[in-house]
Structure 1
Amino acid sequence: MDSFENPFSEFLKSQAETLLLRAGFPPLIYENGRDQELSSIKLKVPEVLSILETIIPDAQQESLKESGFEKFEFQTEHYRFCVDVTWNESIKEIRFCKQI
Structure 2
Amino acid sequence: MPGGPKGLTETERRRRRERIFRWLAVVHAGPRGMAVAGHPELGRRYPEGYARCPGRPSLVCRASGGVPRVCLPRRFEELAESARRGGRKRRGFEAQRIEELER
TM-score by length of 2: 0.32
- Greater strand percent: which structure? 1
Higher RCO (C-alpha 8 Å, min separation 6): 2
- Greater helix percent: which structure? 2
